[in-house]
Amino acid sequence: MAVRTGSRSAGANSVQSRDGRASEAWRPVVTADLGRVPAGVDRVVVVVSADPLQPDAVFTRAPLLSVTQPGTPAMSFAAPDFTSGETVVVLAELYRRDGGWKIRAVGQGYASGLAGLATDYGVDVEPEPAPTPAPPRSEGRRNPASAGPEVDLSKVERLAPGLLSPARQAGKALVDRDIANRRAAVYLILDHDRHMEELYESFAVQAFAERVLALSATLDDDGTVPVIFSSGGEPFLEEIRLDNHRGRIGRLHTQVDWGWGNVADAMRRAVGHYQESGAADPAFVVTQVGDEPWDKSEVRSLLQNTASLGVFWLFVGFGRGKLAFYKNLNASASATFTNVAFYDASKNPGSVPDERFYAGLVDAFAVWLRG
């Protein structure tokens, strides 16, 4: 298998300095003889790095990734452009799955260089001396006398500029519903049923998670969303952050076996994490569901038992299966789930405009929060 990187157009995808100077376009090739990879190695990461000897060298346009393998059609992928001073880029990962190898395009950049890459892959590195902090910017600061804390999107602009537009739209949705100054700890539960495999591989789940992260930036300024994968085994909890979100879901989900969407266990894990955190703000748990749960009675019991804990559950229908259980949770007159709502994001939420998407996410939550 050969992995090749190169330009999308003449002069593009080269490493550039901050003043716009670009080196000659390059087309390196990495060939992987997977049959010789030791059995104990389950992942091979293809990384490119700017020349550390070239001052201020950063990536601007993402390299074009091409993958060729004898007997199969060539594949190509170009990540979104880099705008945050990234010096290291993970282009792709080769990983073992079901006795064979698969490849996933990633496109995750790191402004923190090889140290940031190593940390994200679980390698301990010695911390560098802390730089002298820059003077705080005064632009856009809220008048201290104003009521309620301000959502500071400068962190989004600095760490994840690609999420700035959806974060602004999410903030507008909160303003329109009169909860702009309210805060909540946002959680994300993702269905890891086998029928979701295509949606993970097509980056649809990644895009969905990024939009939830953008919402979190307007409700909780720590720039982090705990992510729980719901599968047949023990729920897998990690996090997605403003500074590591690109390709993050794709990397994490390969560490989780496909299962049967054990939603109740994932919900319990979210509640446990929330309670252990000692957070004073309520929890907003966005639970992506792709099919009916097999543990319906447990789900109902959890919804009832968490009503007094400050936990709001939003079930987001996104997948190929039936969702009648979630759609009908509050359909009857005798329904008592005041802390529950359902939003049908369609089989392709990426096609839903930001304004409508965030309205669907926060409408019922806003009513509950104001009550």
pLDDT at 323 over 80: yes
The phi and psi torsions of 347 (rounded to 5 degrees) equal -75, -10
Whole-number pLDDT of residue 170: 95
pLDDT-derived band at 288, boundaries 50, 70, 90: very high
pLDDT at 126 over 60: no
Average per-residue pLDDT in the chain?
79
Find the mean pLDDT for residues 5-28: 47
Q: What angle do CA 143, 224, 84 make, to 5 degrees?
A: 80
Whole-number pLDDT of residue 123: 59
Residues 6 or more apart in contact with residue 283 via CB below 8 angstroms: 184, 185, 186, 187, 270, 271, 274, 309, 310, 311, 312
pLDDT at 183 over 90: yes
pLDDT-derived band at 182, boundaries 50, 70, 90: very high
Report whether 103 contacts 94 (CB < 8 A): yes
The sign of the torsion formed by the CA atoms of 66, 107, 79, 49 equals negative
How many CB atoms within 10 Å of residue 178?
11
Q: What angle do CA 131, 136, 137 make, to 5 degrees?
A: 130
pLDDT at 83 over 90: no
Q: How far apart are the first and last CA of the chain?
A: 58
Reading the block at residue 213, the tokens are: 């992260």
Q: Per mean pLDDT, which of 61-65, 123-127, 158-162, 229-233 is the most reliable?
A: 158-162
- In the chain, the amino acid numbered 293 is P
Whole-number pLDDT of residue 17: 43
Report whether 234 contacts 265 (CB < 8 A): yes
CA atoms within 13 A on the CB side of 108: 32
Whole-number pLDDT of residue 118: 65
Whole-number pLDDT of residue 213: 96
Whole-number pLDDT of residue 218: 93
pLDDT at 204 over 70: yes
Residues 6 or more apart in contact with residue 209 via CB below 8 angstroms: 188, 190, 225, 227, 240, 245, 248, 249
Instruction: Please report, for residues 78, 166, 360, the alpha-carbon distance to residue 354 in angstroms, rounded to integers and kept in the order given.
Output: 23, 6, 10
Give the predicted TM-score (pTM) of the model: 0.65
Residue 344 DSSP one-character state: E
Reading the block at residue 142, the tokens are: 């809220």
